[in-house]
Every structure is written in C-alpha cells, then in structure tokens.
Structure 1
Amino acid sequence: MGNYQQPLLENRSLYQMAALISLVTTSLIFITAVFLVRKKFTLITVLGSSMYPTFRTGDRLLVLKRHFPHQYRVGQIVVAHPPYPSPKWREKLYVKRLIGLPGDEVAVPETQLNSQIHVAEADSIDVSRNRIWRLPDTYCFIQGDSHWSEDCRAWGPIPVQLLVGVVCLKLPCRTGSADDGEIVKQAPSAVRSTSLPLKIDGE
C-alpha cells in the first residue's frame, strides 16, 4: 500500500504547486493591469456648471492621461490645472473644451463673452467684433460650454503643460446633487488612490 501512496502524494504536491503558480501568475497580471490603468486613467466627478449642458454635477468621467501636445485635438474635452500660481489652486482641475492648440489663431465671437466675467486682453479684434488670440508655441486655449464658464476667455491662453488628459467616457452612474455642473473632483475608484484628494473645478 505504501508504494501506491507515494505517487498519490507526489501528484497532490504537483497539483498544489501548479495551483500556487497559477495564483501567483494571476495576481501578478492583476497587479500589472491595475498599475497600467492607474498610470493611464483617472476617474473624476463633476461639480459646477461651466460645461452645462454637456456635463452636470455628479457626472463621473473617465480621463485618459496625455503628456504631449501632439496627443490632443481641437474639440476634445480636456482636464487641466488652472493657471494660478498658488499651490492651493494648482491642486484643482478644470474640465473644459479644447478650442486651440499651439500655433492656432482662436476667434471668440462677442456673443460668447459674458459681460459679468472679466475678459482677457486679446491680440486683436476683427471687424465682426471677434476677439482674436494667436497662440504661442507652448500655449493652448480652453473654454467651457456654458456662457458662465471661467476659462481662457478670462485668463487668456494657458501653457499646454497644464493639460492633464482627455475625457474619454462619461459613466452611466452619477453621484452628488442634481445641480448642473462642470467642476470636477476625484471620485473613489479602484484604479486611483483617494489618499490624495484631487479637486476639479469648473466654475
């Protein structure tokens, strides 16, 4: 009987080893996938109204991180840091639409300017009263969909390095209040740690 028991023990040992290898491999694949997702994507929650009606408060957006100007296209909805020197403001993010890239000429019609919001000095004003900005090599122009948005119409062009990424998906679930909105804050997610809260504003 002892002769039969030894092969059984060996087979059980091999099975346990195979199961352990499978578990380790699966764990490594999962950890690698989570790392890559966290490196490439971030999840944010909208607060505010500057992208209304495109986005509303509570909308959850998946953002694909981008690091180089050539990765962006005019018309994309982007996430960017505000152009304020204060570290407090630099922790925040804004969701806006990309209107112009380095080297572009941006024309903003007078009808898109809000008399109650400061308007940055433009390079020129054409015969149709459009404000014209000519973007330097390292600058871009972002603008909210709402008439009340605070954006490059008030700031002027901003450095393209302030762009964080492109909104690639609006998730079907929503959080927060039912107010219209466009400000963004970091939302809890499995792909990004919430130990360092990230606020995203879009007033």
Structure 2
Amino acid sequence: MPVIAVFAALLVVVVFLARRRLAVVTVRGESMVPALRPGDRLLVLRGKAVRRGQIVVLEAIGPGMRWREGPLPEVAATDWVVKRVAALPGEPVPPECPGLPSTVPPGTLVVLGDGEVSADSRLWGLVPADRVLGVVLRTLVSTS
C-alpha cells in the first residue's frame, strides 16, 4: 500500500475521532465577561471530567423545561451556554445561590457566569451534570 494511501486513511481516522471528542462553540451574550466576550470561539473537549473553576459548555434550558420552579427565559433547545463550575456533587452550594440545598446532590452542578448579569444557577437552580457538552480547552478566536 502506498505511503500516501496510509497517510490519507490515518488522517480520516484522526479527523473522525477529533470530531467526536472536540467541538467549537461561539460565545453569545456577556455573562462570562471579562473571561470571555461575545463572538469568542471556544475549543471544547467532550467527555472530560469536570472540576470546580473550569468553564463548561452546557445545553440551555429549552421551552417547557425547568430546572427550578419559577419563570425562566426562553432559550431554544439547541442553544448552548457557557458558564463556570462553582460547585460539584458533595460540595457546599455557594452563598450566592440561596434557596438551594446546602450541599450539591449527586448528578448535579452549580454553574455561575463571571459577569454581573448572568442567567445561571442563581436563576435555574442545580444543573443536571448530563447537560454538559464539555470543558473549554482554550479560546480559538478572541474578539478582545
């Protein structure tokens, strides 16, 4: 088999695996300013274990879905949001999230935006961990 054919086959496998593990997401809104700005493009690693303090991309609340009682902003089910993990299962809930249990239950996270105005666990409550698309590895293109 010629070297070029082997290289081409290997390249196809690498691209296929990368597409399954990596995603590119564009930041919309200002909830993560100053760390991230609207228009920033982020490289996201799917399936990586989440740690407190990491920035994650998670599935937004869609119409008819509720994580917490009360009115919620309408967001298309296909949208993604970018937030920072503030607490993991078994950890204390941050004081800026009143009305939640004192400890984060299994299978859930507390996420917060870095900006002054952010729809996050203060509004949504505990976020199901299975809503996380992945962990932000780096900013690919920055608007700042």
Fold shared, TM-score > 0.5 on shorter chain: yes
**In the alignment, what sits opposite 1:112?**
none
Per-residue deviation, residues 103-133 of structure 1 (Å, max 9, x unmatched): 2211224xxxxxxxxx77334xxxxxxxxx4
TM-score normalised to structure 1 length: 0.60
Aligned partner of 1:169: which letter?
A: R
Which entry has the higher C-alpha Rg, 1 or 2?
Answer: 1
Task: Report % sequence identity.
Answer: 34
What per-residue deviation string (whole Å, max 9, x for no partner) do you get for residues 70-118 of structure 1? x111000000012445487321110000011112211224xxxxxxxxx
Corresponding pairs, count: 135
Within 5 Å, give how 1:21-170 maps onto structure 2.
21-66=2-47, 71-84=49-62, 86=64, 89-109=76-96, 121-123=99-101, 133-170=102-139
Greater percentage in helix: 1
Structure 2-normalised TM-score?
Answer: 0.83
User: Contact 1:144/1:151 (CA < 8 Å) preserved in 2?
Assistant: yes
- Write the letter of the residue equivalent to 2:84: R
Q: Distance in 2 between matches of 1:143 and 1:65?
A: 20
> Which runs of 5 or more residues in structure 2 are unaligned?
66-74
- State the match for 2:72 in structure 1: none
Residues 63 and 55 of structure 1, relative CA distance in 2, 3 Å threshold: same
How large is the RMSD of aligned CA atoms in angstroms? 2.2
Which consecutive residues of structure 1, in runs of 5 or more, have no partner in the other structure? 1-17, 110-118, 124-132, 179-203
Which residue does the alignment assign to 2:69? none
Deviation at 1:174, TM superposition (A): 4.0
Measure the CA separation in 2 of the matches of 1:174 and 1:82.
23
Query: Take 2:81 and 2:98, find their aligned partners in 1: how far apart are those partners?
Result: 18
Partner of 1:114: none
Q: Give the number of the structure with larger relative contact order, counting CA–CA contacts within 8 Å between residues 6 or more apart.
A: 1
